[in-house]
A and B are shown apart, each in its own frame.
Chain A
Amino acid sequence: MTSWRDRFNKMTGQTRFVVCRLFLHLGGEQVAPLLGVLNRSAQEALESDGDLNVLGEGLVKICESLLQYDSMWASAANEGNVFWDEGEAGDFVQELFTDSSQRYMSEPDTTASSEQTDLYAPATRNVVVMITVAYEGEVPALETDLTKDIAIKEGLKALISLHYQEKLRAVQVHFSPARFGDELDPDQLLLNFPELSPL
Protein backbone atom coordinates (compact mmCIF):
# COMPACT_ATOMS: atom_id res chain seq x y z
CA MET A 1 0.00 0.00 0.00
CA THR A 2 2.79 2.43 -0.73
CA SER A 3 1.36 5.51 -2.31
CA TRP A 4 3.18 7.80 -4.62
CA ARG A 5 3.65 10.31 -1.83
CA ASP A 6 4.99 7.68 0.51
CA ARG A 7 7.57 6.64 -1.97
CA PHE A 8 8.55 10.17 -2.77
CA ASN A 9 8.97 11.14 0.86
CA LYS A 10 11.00 8.04 1.49
CA MET A 11 13.27 8.87 -1.40
CA THR A 12 13.88 12.34 -0.13
CA GLY A 13 14.94 10.87 3.19
CA GLN A 14 12.11 12.24 5.30
CA THR A 15 11.16 10.56 8.52
CA ARG A 16 7.95 8.59 8.43
CA PHE A 17 5.91 8.74 11.61
CA VAL A 18 3.12 6.35 12.36
CA VAL A 19 0.58 6.79 15.10
CA CYS A 20 -1.66 3.84 15.78
CA ARG A 21 -4.11 2.66 18.34
CA LEU A 22 -5.20 -0.85 19.17
CA PHE A 23 -8.29 -1.74 21.18
CA LEU A 24 -8.36 -5.19 22.65
CA HIS A 25 -11.30 -6.47 24.62
CA LEU A 26 -10.83 -9.54 26.77
CA GLY A 27 -13.74 -11.43 28.19
CA GLY A 28 -14.10 -14.27 30.66
CA GLU A 29 -13.81 -15.25 34.29
CA GLN A 30 -10.06 -15.05 34.45
CA VAL A 31 -9.38 -11.62 32.96
CA ALA A 32 -9.20 -9.63 36.19
CA PRO A 33 -5.54 -10.48 37.02
CA LEU A 34 -4.57 -8.56 33.91
CA LEU A 35 -5.53 -5.40 35.78
CA GLY A 36 -2.60 -6.01 38.10
CA VAL A 37 -0.13 -5.93 35.22
CA LEU A 38 -1.75 -2.79 33.82
CA ASN A 39 -1.78 -0.93 37.11
CA ARG A 40 1.79 -1.85 37.88
CA SER A 41 2.93 -0.49 34.54
CA ALA A 42 0.92 2.66 35.15
CA GLN A 43 2.54 3.25 38.53
CA GLU A 44 5.99 2.71 37.10
CA ALA A 45 5.22 5.16 34.31
CA LEU A 46 4.16 7.82 36.78
CA GLU A 47 7.13 7.25 39.03
CA SER A 48 9.51 7.61 36.10
CA ASP A 49 7.91 10.93 35.17
CA GLY A 50 7.10 9.64 31.73
CA ASP A 51 10.46 8.17 30.79
CA LEU A 52 9.73 6.56 27.43
CA ASN A 53 12.12 3.74 28.17
CA VAL A 54 10.19 2.83 31.28
CA LEU A 55 6.89 3.14 29.44
CA GLY A 56 8.30 0.97 26.68
CA GLU A 57 9.27 -1.71 29.19
CA GLY A 58 5.79 -1.52 30.65
CA LEU A 59 4.34 -1.87 27.19
CA VAL A 60 6.42 -4.98 26.61
CA LYS A 61 5.07 -6.53 29.82
CA ILE A 62 1.52 -5.65 28.86
CA CYS A 63 1.89 -7.07 25.37
CA GLU A 64 3.42 -10.26 26.77
CA SER A 65 0.52 -10.66 29.19
CA LEU A 66 -1.99 -10.01 26.45
CA LEU A 67 -0.33 -12.68 24.34
CA GLN A 68 -0.67 -15.10 27.24
CA TYR A 69 -4.34 -14.27 27.59
CA ASP A 70 -5.01 -14.91 23.91
CA SER A 71 -7.76 -17.41 24.63
CA MET A 72 -9.81 -14.61 26.16
CA TRP A 73 -9.59 -12.14 23.35
CA ALA A 74 -13.17 -11.29 22.51
CA SER A 75 -13.13 -8.32 20.18
CA ALA A 76 -10.75 -5.75 18.79
CA ALA A 77 -10.37 -2.63 16.69
CA ASN A 78 -7.50 -0.54 15.48
CA GLU A 79 -6.79 2.64 13.63
CA GLY A 80 -3.78 4.61 12.60
CA ASN A 81 -2.28 7.23 10.45
CA VAL A 82 0.98 7.95 8.66
CA PHE A 83 2.56 11.37 9.07
CA TRP A 84 5.50 13.04 7.44
CA ASP A 85 5.37 15.90 9.86
CA GLU A 86 6.41 15.24 13.43
CA GLY A 87 4.16 17.96 14.78
CA GLU A 88 1.08 16.51 13.16
CA ALA A 89 1.89 13.10 14.58
CA GLY A 90 2.33 14.69 18.01
CA ASP A 91 -1.04 16.39 17.74
CA PHE A 92 -2.72 13.16 16.75
CA VAL A 93 -1.17 11.35 19.72
CA GLN A 94 -2.64 13.95 22.06
CA GLU A 95 -5.98 13.73 20.34
CA LEU A 96 -6.05 9.96 20.78
CA PHE A 97 -5.21 10.34 24.44
CA THR A 98 -8.23 12.52 24.96
CA ASP A 99 -10.43 10.21 22.93
CA SER A 100 -9.30 7.10 24.81
CA SER A 101 -9.78 8.73 28.19
CA GLN A 102 -13.32 9.75 27.35
CA ARG A 103 -14.37 6.14 27.27
CA TYR A 104 -14.17 5.66 30.99
CA MET A 105 -14.64 7.63 34.17
CA SER A 106 -11.32 8.64 35.56
CA GLU A 107 -12.76 10.20 38.70
CA PRO A 108 -15.23 7.73 40.10
CA ASP A 109 -17.64 9.08 42.63
CA THR A 110 -16.07 7.89 45.83
CA THR A 111 -18.71 9.35 48.11
CA ALA A 112 -21.49 7.06 46.95
CA SER A 113 -20.88 3.97 49.01
CA SER A 114 -17.70 4.41 50.93
CA GLU A 115 -19.03 2.83 54.10
CA GLN A 116 -18.80 -0.71 52.89
CA THR A 117 -15.47 -2.41 52.55
CA ASP A 118 -16.59 -5.84 51.56
CA LEU A 119 -14.08 -8.59 51.19
CA TYR A 120 -16.01 -10.08 48.38
CA ALA A 121 -15.40 -8.30 45.13
CA PRO A 122 -17.02 -9.55 41.97
CA ALA A 123 -14.31 -9.96 39.38
CA THR A 124 -15.03 -8.19 36.15
CA ARG A 125 -15.70 -10.32 33.13
CA ASN A 126 -14.56 -7.66 30.69
CA VAL A 127 -11.37 -5.68 30.31
CA VAL A 128 -10.58 -3.31 27.49
CA VAL A 129 -7.01 -2.28 26.85
CA MET A 130 -6.22 0.62 24.53
CA ILE A 131 -2.67 0.89 23.35
CA THR A 132 -1.49 3.87 21.35
CA VAL A 133 2.03 4.23 20.07
CA ALA A 134 3.91 6.50 17.75
CA TYR A 135 6.98 5.24 16.02
CA GLU A 136 9.41 6.08 13.29
CA GLY A 137 9.61 3.95 10.20
CA GLU A 138 7.32 1.36 8.78
CA VAL A 139 5.86 -1.70 10.52
CA PRO A 140 3.49 -3.58 8.22
CA ALA A 141 2.31 -5.82 11.06
CA LEU A 142 0.74 -2.80 12.75
CA GLU A 143 -0.36 -0.84 9.73
CA THR A 144 -3.12 -3.18 8.79
CA ASP A 145 -6.49 -4.42 9.91
CA LEU A 146 -6.01 -5.93 13.35
CA THR A 147 -9.34 -7.63 13.87
CA LYS A 148 -8.10 -11.17 13.50
CA ASP A 149 -6.33 -13.34 16.07
CA ILE A 150 -3.24 -13.90 13.98
CA ALA A 151 -2.95 -10.25 13.02
CA ILE A 152 -3.20 -9.15 16.65
CA LYS A 153 -0.52 -11.61 17.69
CA GLU A 154 1.81 -10.24 15.05
CA GLY A 155 0.87 -6.71 16.02
CA LEU A 156 1.63 -7.23 19.70
CA LYS A 157 4.95 -8.81 18.84
CA ALA A 158 5.72 -5.86 16.59
CA LEU A 159 5.01 -3.50 19.49
CA ILE A 160 7.47 -5.42 21.64
CA SER A 161 10.15 -5.18 18.96
CA LEU A 162 9.56 -1.46 18.53
CA HIS A 163 10.60 -0.94 22.12
CA TYR A 164 13.81 -2.89 21.71
CA GLN A 165 14.57 -1.14 18.44
CA GLU A 166 14.18 2.18 20.27
CA LYS A 167 11.80 3.45 17.67
CA LEU A 168 8.94 4.39 19.97
CA ARG A 169 8.26 8.10 20.18
CA ALA A 170 5.07 7.87 22.19
CA VAL A 171 3.43 5.23 24.34
CA GLN A 172 -0.05 5.37 25.78
CA VAL A 173 -1.99 2.77 27.64
CA HIS A 174 -5.57 3.10 28.79
CA PHE A 175 -7.63 0.41 30.38
CA SER A 176 -11.06 -0.03 31.76
CA PRO A 177 -12.08 -0.95 34.40
CA ALA A 178 -9.43 0.71 36.54
CA ARG A 179 -8.98 -1.80 39.30
CA PHE A 180 -9.76 -5.21 40.59
CA GLY A 181 -13.27 -5.04 41.95
CA ASP A 182 -14.57 -2.55 39.40
CA GLU A 183 -16.88 -3.82 36.75
CA LEU A 184 -17.15 -3.15 33.04
CA ASP A 185 -20.54 -4.48 32.07
CA PRO A 186 -21.70 -5.42 28.57
CA ASP A 187 -23.84 -2.28 28.22
CA GLN A 188 -20.97 0.03 29.06
CA LEU A 189 -18.83 -1.93 26.67
CA LEU A 190 -21.25 -1.51 23.83
CA LEU A 191 -21.83 2.13 24.55
CA ASN A 192 -18.25 3.27 24.91
CA PHE A 193 -16.45 0.97 22.55
CA PRO A 194 -18.77 0.77 19.56
CA GLU A 195 -15.97 0.16 17.10
CA LEU A 196 -14.96 -3.18 18.58
CA SER A 197 -15.57 -6.03 16.24
CA PRO A 198 -15.79 -9.64 17.43
CA LEU A 199 -12.87 -11.97 16.85
Chain B
Amino acid sequence: MTATARILDEAEIRRSVTRIAHEILEHNKGARDLVLVGIANRGDDLARRLAAEIERIEGATLPVGVLDITFYRDDIGMRAEAPEVHETRIGFDINGKTVILVDDVLYTGRTIRAALDALVDFGRPTAIQLAVLVDRGHRELPIRADYVGKNVPTRRDEDVRVALKETDGEDAVVVEEPAAKRDVPGGER
Protein backbone atom coordinates (compact mmCIF):
# COMPACT_ATOMS: atom_id res chain seq x y z
CA MET B 1 0.00 0.00 0.00
CA THR B 2 1.25 3.43 -0.85
CA ALA B 3 0.09 6.05 1.62
CA THR B 4 -0.77 9.20 -0.26
CA ALA B 5 -2.98 12.10 0.75
CA ARG B 6 -4.58 14.40 -1.78
CA ILE B 7 -3.95 18.00 -0.73
CA LEU B 8 -5.49 19.82 -3.69
CA ASP B 9 -7.79 18.59 -6.44
CA GLU B 10 -8.48 20.13 -9.82
CA ALA B 11 -11.10 22.63 -8.62
CA GLU B 12 -8.98 23.69 -5.65
CA ILE B 13 -5.94 24.27 -7.86
CA ARG B 14 -8.09 26.38 -10.17
CA ARG B 15 -9.40 28.46 -7.25
CA SER B 16 -5.88 28.90 -5.88
CA VAL B 17 -4.61 30.16 -9.24
CA THR B 18 -7.55 32.56 -9.51
CA ARG B 19 -6.99 33.88 -5.98
CA ILE B 20 -3.24 34.34 -6.56
CA ALA B 21 -4.00 36.21 -9.79
CA HIS B 22 -6.30 38.58 -7.85
CA GLU B 23 -3.69 39.02 -5.11
CA ILE B 24 -0.97 39.85 -7.65
CA LEU B 25 -3.19 42.50 -9.25
CA GLU B 26 -4.25 43.92 -5.90
CA HIS B 27 -0.73 44.02 -4.48
CA ASN B 28 0.72 45.65 -7.61
CA LYS B 29 -2.30 47.92 -8.20
CA GLY B 30 -2.95 46.46 -11.64
CA ALA B 31 -0.95 44.65 -14.27
CA ARG B 32 1.35 47.46 -15.32
CA ASP B 33 5.01 46.46 -15.84
CA LEU B 34 4.34 42.94 -14.59
CA VAL B 35 5.97 39.93 -16.23
CA LEU B 36 5.66 36.27 -15.29
CA VAL B 37 8.59 33.84 -15.17
CA GLY B 38 7.93 30.20 -14.33
CA ILE B 39 10.61 27.80 -13.15
CA ALA B 40 10.85 24.66 -15.29
CA ASN B 41 9.18 22.21 -14.95
CA ARG B 42 5.57 22.99 -13.94
CA GLY B 43 6.31 26.51 -12.69
CA ASP B 44 6.04 27.59 -16.33
CA ASP B 45 2.66 25.81 -16.63
CA LEU B 46 1.42 27.70 -13.57
CA ALA B 47 2.82 31.00 -14.91
CA ARG B 48 0.81 30.54 -18.12
CA ARG B 49 -2.34 29.80 -16.09
CA LEU B 50 -1.78 32.92 -13.99
CA ALA B 51 -1.31 34.95 -17.18
CA ALA B 52 -4.59 33.60 -18.55
CA GLU B 53 -6.40 34.45 -15.29
CA ILE B 54 -4.93 37.95 -15.19
CA GLU B 55 -5.98 38.46 -18.80
CA ARG B 56 -9.52 37.33 -17.92
CA ILE B 57 -9.71 39.60 -14.86
CA GLU B 58 -7.85 42.66 -16.05
CA GLY B 59 -7.80 42.32 -19.84
CA ALA B 60 -4.02 42.72 -19.82
CA THR B 61 -1.74 40.27 -21.61
CA LEU B 62 1.43 39.68 -19.61
CA PRO B 63 4.60 38.23 -21.12
CA VAL B 64 5.44 34.74 -19.81
CA GLY B 65 8.94 33.32 -19.69
CA VAL B 66 10.36 29.99 -18.61
CA LEU B 67 13.51 29.71 -16.56
CA ASP B 68 15.67 26.64 -16.05
CA ILE B 69 17.85 26.99 -12.96
CA THR B 70 20.05 23.93 -13.51
CA PHE B 71 23.23 25.90 -14.21
CA TYR B 72 22.76 27.84 -10.96
CA ARG B 73 22.15 24.88 -8.63
CA ASP B 74 24.34 24.61 -5.56
CA ASP B 75 24.65 20.84 -5.78
CA ILE B 76 26.33 20.46 -9.19
CA GLY B 77 29.18 18.05 -8.68
CA MET B 78 27.51 16.43 -5.66
CA ARG B 79 25.40 14.04 -7.69
CA ALA B 80 26.75 11.17 -9.77
CA GLU B 81 25.54 12.71 -13.04
CA ALA B 82 25.25 16.29 -14.20
CA PRO B 83 21.63 17.40 -13.61
CA GLU B 84 19.40 17.35 -16.70
CA VAL B 85 18.96 20.70 -18.40
CA HIS B 86 15.62 22.17 -19.52
CA GLU B 87 14.71 25.03 -21.76
CA THR B 88 15.05 28.67 -20.75
CA ARG B 89 13.11 31.20 -22.80
CA ILE B 90 12.68 34.76 -21.61
CA GLY B 91 11.81 36.58 -24.81
CA PHE B 92 11.38 40.01 -23.23
CA ASP B 93 13.36 42.62 -21.35
CA ILE B 94 13.06 42.35 -17.56
CA ASN B 95 14.82 45.66 -16.86
CA GLY B 96 12.50 47.94 -14.91
CA LYS B 97 9.78 45.27 -14.67
CA THR B 98 8.25 43.56 -11.68
CA VAL B 99 8.93 39.87 -12.15
CA ILE B 100 6.48 37.40 -10.67
CA LEU B 101 8.56 34.26 -10.22
CA VAL B 102 6.34 31.17 -10.22
CA ASP B 103 7.08 27.66 -8.93
CA ASP B 104 4.97 24.67 -7.97
CA VAL B 105 6.42 23.81 -4.52
CA LEU B 106 8.44 25.96 -2.12
CA TYR B 107 10.57 23.75 0.13
CA THR B 108 14.20 24.45 1.11
CA GLY B 109 14.34 27.69 -0.88
CA ARG B 110 17.46 26.59 -2.75
CA THR B 111 15.70 26.50 -6.11
CA ILE B 112 14.47 30.07 -5.56
CA ARG B 113 17.98 31.21 -4.57
CA ALA B 114 19.24 29.76 -7.86
CA ALA B 115 16.37 31.37 -9.78
CA LEU B 116 17.16 34.80 -8.29
CA ASP B 117 20.79 34.45 -9.38
CA ALA B 118 19.69 33.37 -12.85
CA LEU B 119 17.15 36.21 -13.22
CA VAL B 120 19.63 38.98 -12.48
CA ASP B 121 21.78 37.68 -15.35
CA PHE B 122 18.95 38.79 -17.64
CA GLY B 123 18.77 42.31 -16.31
CA ARG B 124 17.79 44.41 -13.31
CA PRO B 125 14.10 44.09 -12.50
CA THR B 126 12.47 46.70 -10.25
CA ALA B 127 11.23 43.93 -8.00
CA ILE B 128 10.91 40.15 -7.90
CA GLN B 129 7.91 38.57 -6.17
CA LEU B 130 7.38 34.87 -5.58
CA ALA B 131 4.20 32.89 -6.21
CA VAL B 132 3.94 29.18 -5.36
CA LEU B 133 1.12 26.68 -5.46
CA VAL B 134 2.28 24.85 -2.32
CA ASP B 135 4.50 25.94 0.56
CA ARG B 136 5.59 22.84 2.43
CA GLY B 137 7.95 24.51 4.93
CA HIS B 138 11.48 23.41 5.96
CA ARG B 139 13.28 26.45 4.59
CA GLU B 140 17.07 26.29 4.59
CA LEU B 141 17.51 29.85 3.33
CA PRO B 142 15.87 33.18 4.30
CA ILE B 143 13.29 33.09 1.49
CA ARG B 144 9.51 33.45 1.65
CA ALA B 145 6.70 33.49 -0.89
CA ASP B 146 4.54 36.56 -1.59
CA TYR B 147 1.63 34.49 -2.89
CA VAL B 148 0.83 30.95 -1.69
CA GLY B 149 -1.87 28.61 -2.99
CA LYS B 150 -1.81 26.40 0.09
CA ASN B 151 0.42 25.98 3.11
CA VAL B 152 0.97 22.28 3.71
CA PRO B 153 2.75 21.17 6.88
CA THR B 154 4.94 18.21 5.97
CA ARG B 155 7.70 16.08 7.35
CA ARG B 156 11.04 16.16 5.58
CA ASP B 157 10.80 12.50 4.66
CA GLU B 158 7.49 13.01 2.86
CA ASP B 159 7.22 13.84 -0.84
CA VAL B 160 4.97 16.54 -2.24
CA ARG B 161 4.04 15.87 -5.85
CA VAL B 162 2.31 18.35 -8.08
CA ALA B 163 0.67 17.06 -11.25
CA LEU B 164 -0.54 19.53 -13.87
CA LYS B 165 -2.56 18.77 -16.99
CA GLU B 166 -0.03 20.43 -19.30
CA THR B 167 2.79 18.15 -18.13
CA ASP B 168 1.15 15.19 -16.38
CA GLY B 169 -2.33 14.93 -17.90
CA GLU B 170 -4.18 15.69 -14.62
CA ASP B 171 -4.38 18.35 -11.92
CA ALA B 172 -3.56 17.20 -8.38
CA VAL B 173 -1.28 17.82 -5.44
CA VAL B 174 -0.52 14.81 -3.24
CA VAL B 175 1.68 14.11 -0.25
CA GLU B 176 3.35 10.71 -0.24
CA GLU B 177 4.35 8.96 2.95
CA PRO B 178 7.93 7.65 3.15
CA ALA B 179 6.51 4.10 3.16
CA ALA B 180 5.52 4.67 -0.43
CA LYS B 181 9.10 5.45 -1.29
CA ARG B 182 10.33 2.25 0.32
CA ASP B 183 8.11 0.27 -2.01
CA VAL B 184 10.12 1.50 -4.97
CA PRO B 185 12.83 -1.01 -5.88
CA GLY B 186 16.23 0.31 -4.90
CA GLY B 187 14.59 3.13 -2.99
CA GLU B 188 15.71 5.81 -5.44
CA ARG B 189 13.85 8.04 -7.81
Partners in one complex: no
Chain B residues engaging chain A, CB cutoff 8 angstroms = none
